Amino acid sequence: MCGILGLLLHDPSIDAASEIAEGLSLLQHRGQDACGIVTGGPKGRFFQCKANGMVRDVFDSNAIARLVGGMGIGHVRYPTAGSAHHAEAQPFYVNSPYGIVFAHNGNLINTGSLLHFMDADAHRHINTSSDSELLLNIFANELQKTGKFRINEEDIFTAIGGLMAQAKGAYACVAMLAGFGIIAFRDPNGIRPVGMASRAAAGGRDWMFASESVVADASGFGGWEDVRPGEAVIITRASVSRRQVAPPAAFAPDIFEFVYFARPDSVLDGISVYRSRMAMGDALAEEVRRVLAEKKIEVDVVIPVPDTSRVAALNLAQQLKLPYREGFIKNRYVGRTFIMPGQQMRKKNVRKKLNAMALEFANKNVLLVDDSIVRGTTSKEIIQMAKDVGAKQVIVASCAPPIRFPNVYGIDMPSRYELVGHGRTVEQISDAIGADLVIFQTLPDLISSVRQFNPAIASFDCSVFTGEYVTGGVDAAYLDHLERLRADNVKGKAIVGDVAVLEGKGGGGARDTSGSEGASVSGSGGPVNGHDDTIGLHNTWKSS
């Protein structure tokens, strides 16, 4: 669930990089593995810095000072395709046609046929196993078709329409064309979020695209509007143009953005994430009341599992007229565990991140509230921690229903066998995580908790609960492939250049899949983290 950002300042002499870095730090919760910024400066030149790591580590003042130009795009990455290799950090760049820089949130589901097309028909080289690099090349190929010396907005809309006719899956994207402007577009089902906002500047307006509205709020941008599903928006210093470029399709934003991913202070598709989480707590309280009465269990205290469940847990406690206590204290320097790569790291970090205070647990029946139980990593650890400090009974309530199916749209849960809810009844899930009882929100209650704030949205992507995938094209064979490619036990073994063929047969031509690290670097300075991974940009590598 990466974060994307685009910024165009009206005055090209003001550098955009520091604001982009600040904005990316507000999107850090969407991706902790890698981050990058590319700015567009004088003479249409691009300046780039990207590396594995958190925003605050990659973008020190030296790195920012070398990112020249009044427009740019940025990305924070949580890998859901390819590997976590630094060569797949975004934004990506292609020099032809026109010079394009590109950042993507989401995941494609037809990479196999797209790779084959790239190879056999478009003759474009894809240098990593990232689906985002592939998507950029689809875009470049569509722009190339104009054959023009200079393109205009019409050409760009046509190209994005062409891309949407080919790319299947989830994609919220921002792009920048050299010397031209910034662009955003969103897949026809609007699965991943992206919106736009502006603010007054001397002689005109500054414009921003971002995954979440919190970035606009914090940077003094107003008038937040979502990019509509199947829509493309082009912003230059002279104009803002919007166009529906794909035929209408079912709007289905991912409900998991509201459950877990987005910040509570963001508003996505007209819905306050905060309000939706409060409503989840209210609705879950009713289910908890019913089940506790049926089982004749009395609860002494409600304890949230920090951070995301706090909002819902407070409402739940209020509804049930039970005390709400912060029994787990979070180490604020440890990031989100769910989006960390690898089960070992996730497991270790739950203990590093949360500490149970005995005085809130000893001799009590505690009701732990979490937003979701996915692999069960968090709940298994914290239930044990609660018991270790003397809890009598540990009941867990989840704001989301059991997660039983893989996500294929930009959340890294590719294997059903890693999901504690897959193939298990509620009682079996409870046993697996060591709880005395688990209570799940029902799916209709989850949907209405979110939808009540924007009834115009007819449906949400709920595939992780239902196994129904709104884009089509996801069948048992696809899920088997995905599992073989990306399950925890195989991930990380992929080499750069090892293309993620999920269908059909990619490869051939001149492609070298032997693990070449590819790409020579032009530009100044040495590599970040000791690696070179870009072509032809003014790299603003940190000197070490």
Ligand X SMILES: O=P(O)(O)OC[C@H]1O[C@H](OP(=O)(O)OP(=O)(O)O)[C@H](O)[C@@H]1O
Cα angle 241-459-482, degrees, rounded to a multiple of 5: 90
The answer to whether 211 contacts ligand GLN (rule: CB under 6 A) is: no
CA distance 187 to 164: 7
Question: Which amino acid makes up residue 303?
Answer: I
414 within 8 A of 482, measured Cβ to Cβ: yes
Shortest distance, CB of residue 390 to ligand GLN, whole angstroms? 40
- Nearest to ligand X of 2, 500 (CB atom): 2
377, interface contact from ligand X, ligand GLN, Mg ion, none, CB < 5-8 Å by kind: ligand X
Specify the stretch interacting with ligand GLN by CB under 6 A; choose among 130-138, 196-204, 311-319, 389-397. Answer: 130-138
Q: List 5's β-bridge partners, or say none.
A: 74, 210
Write the binding mask 371 to 410 for ligand GLN: x where contact by CB under 6 A, - elsewhere. ---------------------------------------x
Residue 69 gets the label, from left (phi > 0), alpha (psi -120 to 50) or beta, of: left
- Nearest to ligand GLN of 97, 106 (CB atom): 106
Shortest distance, CB of residue 381 to ligand X, whole angstroms? 8
Where helices occur in 146-202 by DSSP H, the ranges are 153-166
Residue 375, H or E segment: none
356, interface contact from Mg ion, ligand GLN, ligand X, none, CB < 5-8 Å by kind: none
Q: Give yes or no: 35 in active site.
A: no
CA distance 467 to 484: 18
Specify the stretch interacting with Mg ion by CB under 5 A; choose among 1-9, 289-297, 304-312, 314-322. Answer: 304-312
The answer to whether 107 contacts ligand GLN (rule: CB under 6 A) is: yes
224 within 8 A of 196, measured Cβ to Cβ: yes
The answer to whether 79 contacts ligand GLN (rule: CB under 6 A) is: yes
- Nearest to Mg ion of 233, 433 (CB atom): 433
- Nearest to ligand X of 230, 306 (CB atom): 306
Q: Who's near 280: CB < 8 A, 6+ residues apart?
A: 258, 259, 312, 315, 371, 399, 441, 445, 446, 449, 450
Q: Residues touching ligand GLN: how many (CB under 6 A)?
A: 17
CA distance 89 to 86: 5
Q: Which of 116, 184, 85, 99 is nearest to 533 (CA)?
A: 85
Shortest distance, CB of residue 535 to ligand X, whole angstroms? 34
441, interface contact from ligand GLN, Mg ion, ligand X, none, CB < 5-8 Å by kind: none
Cα angle 6-12-16, degrees, rounded to a multiple of 5: 40
Residues at the site binding ligand X, with contacts judged by CB under 6 A: 260, 305-308, 336-338, 370-379
320: number of CA atoms within 13 Å, CB side? 31
374, interface contact from ligand X, Mg ion, ligand GLN, none, CB < 5-8 Å by kind: ligand X
Helix (H, G, I), strand (E, B) or coil at 541: coil
Q: Residues touching Mg ion: how many (CB under 5 A)?
A: 1
Write the binding mask 473 to 502 for ligand GLN: x where contact by CB under 6 A, - elsewhere. ------------------------------
Specify the stretch interacting with Mg ion by CB under 5 A; choose among 173-181, 221-229, 305-313, 438-446. Answer: 305-313
- Nearest to ligand X of 307, 436 (CB atom): 307
Q: Which residue is nearest to ligand GLN (CB)?
A: 2
127, interface contact from ligand GLN, ligand X, Mg ion, none, CB < 5-8 Å by kind: none
Work out which of 29, 50, 66, 77 binds ligand GLN, going by CB under 6 A. 77
Q: What is the dihedral of CA 132, 134, 135, 138, to 10 degrees?
A: 160
Cα angle 464-466-470, degrees, rounded to a multiple of 5: 80
Shortest distance, CB of residue 402 to ligand GLN, whole angstroms? 23
Number of neighbours of residue 35 by Cβ within 10 angstroms: 30
Residues with a known catalytic role: 2
